[in-house]
Structure 1
Amino acid sequence: MTGHRIFAASFASIYPLYVAKAERKGRRREEVDQVICWLTGYDATGLTNAVDAEVSLETFFDLAPGLNPHAHLITGLICGHRVEEIEDPLMQKIRYMDKLVDELARGKKMTAILREGNGGDATSAMPGHAHGVPRTA
C-alpha cells in the first residue's frame, strides 16, 4: 500500500480517541456517531461493524456507503492544513472527519457542524440506511 501511514491505521484505534475527545468536552458518543454517519453514510450498525472488524481508515472510507455531498462545506484548519486544500482524496476525508469531531468538541452546535442551512441535510446524519462494513462472525 502506498500513501501516508494513517491510511493503514485501524478505525477501531481512532474511534475511541474521537469519543474520548468529545466526552472530555461534555459531548456524547451518540453525537460523535452522528457526525461520522453524516460524513460517511454509515449507520450505527455499520460503525459498530467497522470497529469490530478493525478495518483500516482506507478500507473504512472505501466501504463507506457514500461521502455526504455537502462535505465540501467543511472548511478550516486541522493539523495545520486547510481541509479544503488537501489534494489526496483519502487524506481529505480523514481530515474532514477530524474536523467534524474537533468542531463537536469545541462546543459548536450540531446544526452548524452538519452544515444545516448551508446545503447540508441533517436527516442524512441520522443512522438507519446503510451498513457498509459486513459484520464479522
Structure 2
Amino acid sequence: MGGINIYCGSFSGDDKSGSAFEGVLAGMEAMASTHEGEAIARVKSALEDASDHILIEPDEARLLLPLLRRYSAEVDGQLAVPGDLFDQMARDEDESTIDATVLQFGAGLGWRAYCARDLLKAFEVADAEAEPVALVW
C-alpha cells in the first residue's frame, strides 16, 4: 500500500496525510470502549479486504468521532512542540533508528498526528454532510 489520501464530501486532506492510518487505528483501539472497538474492527476488516481504497460510512464516522477527538488530543499532547506536527516528523526521523517509511506508515508520532488531524476533519465533514470518508492509496 502506498501513501493514503483522505477525502470526505467538501474536504480533501493534505497529500498522504492518511499514511499512518493503521497506526492511528491501533492507538484509537487502545482507548476504545467495547462499542467503539467493534466499529474499529469493522474498519480494519474493510482495510484488509481493500485493494486501493476503503469507505467509512457516515454512521461509522459519527460513532468513532468522539474517540478520534480523544486520540487526537492525546497525540497532540505528546508533540515536542505543541501543534507542530511537522517539527515532530523531523524529530522522529532525527531521533529514531527506524526507517523514514516505517515512521510514515504509523510508527512516527508526527505522522500519526498528521493523520489524526486530517482524519478528524474528514469525520467532522462526514457528520455534517452525511458523506462517507474515503481513504485512497
Structure-1-length-normalised TM-score? 0.28
Q: Which has the higher contact order (CA 8 A, sep 6+)?
A: 2
Larger helix proportion, structure 1 or 2?
2
Structure-2-length-normalised TM-score? 0.28
